[in-house]
Chain A
Amino acid sequence: ETLDRVNSTKVLKVATNAGWPPQSFLDDSNQLVGFDIDVANEIAKRLGATAEFDTPEWGVMTGGRWGGRWDVAVGSITPTKPRSEVLDFAGIYYYTPYVFAVHKDSTLTDPKELNGKRIGVETATTSEEYVNRSLVIDAPGVPPVEYWLEPGEVKTYADSMLPFDDLRLGDGVRVDAVISGEQTVLGAINNGYPIKILSGEYAFQEPLAIVADKGDAEWTSKLGETIAAMKADGTLSQLTTKWYGKDYSE
């Protein structure tokens, strides 16, 4: 049905975010731009339609039961087992490495030294599940997550910026380290936050998928084909390089 509608109206209704550089954000002329936006536009193009964007809250977007408001969500959503009960994952389109960020003055050099320290994470994200050892990624071809971290205390925030703000107060004032996506941490550093990434291995690699509402198998597989094609002809690799400076498509 969805496919028919997209074909007839030539409009692809996309749910995404507006505050996540470089995936999707408002540029200085207040237009939505970013990696997710480019991907969505590309998908629309390949379906012979134009993309129309809407920015519902994360919880609304990822809660399913869209009531036909959106055809697809291109919002860097991680495919996990419980999520697959309410949404259909059409395909993985890139991966994000997660890193440990510490204050500039921190004497720590190795992630392993974080055992017993206070770790800050944003609530209801894969980083929180990672520290709680409950992260189960439901995607083929992704290596299982290795858990070695034993945090002394986990501080959770219902806001993505607050962990960094607490870290910025000084080494060990409120937290010792923050787990977050590499791009987010680099963004913070670029904007003058006095923090650094602990070099060494990534905490884990997070696959990100394009999502459709549950129940329209034909549409999901059509989306899946489109993504596979975009991956195969290098479009995705080109787009990740454009926005992230690295090829995150593998």
Chain B
Amino acid sequence: MTSAHAAAVKAALPAIEISGLNKWYGNLQVLHDVNLSVAQGERMVICGPSGSGKSTLIRTVNALEGFQDGEIKVAGIRLTRDQAVVEEIRRRVGMVFQQFNLFPHLTVLENCALPLRLVRGLSPAEARARAMHYLSKVRIPEQATKYPAQLSGGQQQRVAIARAVAMQPEVMLFDEPTSALDPEMVKEVLDVMVALADEGMTMAVVTHEMGFARQVADRVIFMDAGRIIEQGPPSTFFSAPKSDRTRAFLQQVLH
């Protein structure tokens, strides 16, 4: 982390601010009093065991999940159940889903270009051009005319990333964006993400790629059973974890 970057991070309003967030599914509490503030341009990594509430947490940020208690602000806008607010936040926040959620009836290119036309108001030609640009960035321009069902798992995941990133949102939420990728491709996709980060995009990334966390993140969050157990810059997080739970988790990471 360069110090200029760090300064920029500090300066502005937080991009995401979560305070006192609690969420239940029926009787099961999946988020326990979560407090979190992500600065503009910050690159935050969320890790933690399976089922600890990572997906749920980032899905609450753009109102894909409701919550029972607490407050969320995105770029200073308080998230309510008001339509205008939700639409505004969703225009500013992009998301890559754990299950990809590609549109099966549209080709890869249309998957990326349609939202650009409908939401960003691009002309069809502009939209196609920008879509192709991002498909090239994730190395699948040659798959543009295929349907999602004809792609391999990793190719689908890259389409999902290109589709979300092409919208050029202020904040990007990534839910395990490299799970289906081979190490080589992981590297390339992470490079794309770093490039975005360098353009000042705020990023919250759920990932198990500790390498990425270590090299790129401004901050690492560790969740377990719906709670944020520990957070800190990667340097201290990896070398000197405070809690036993974090230590146990990090020890299991295979090399």
- The answer to whether any beta carbons of A and B sit under 8 Å apart in the complex is no
A: which residues have CB within 8 A of B? none
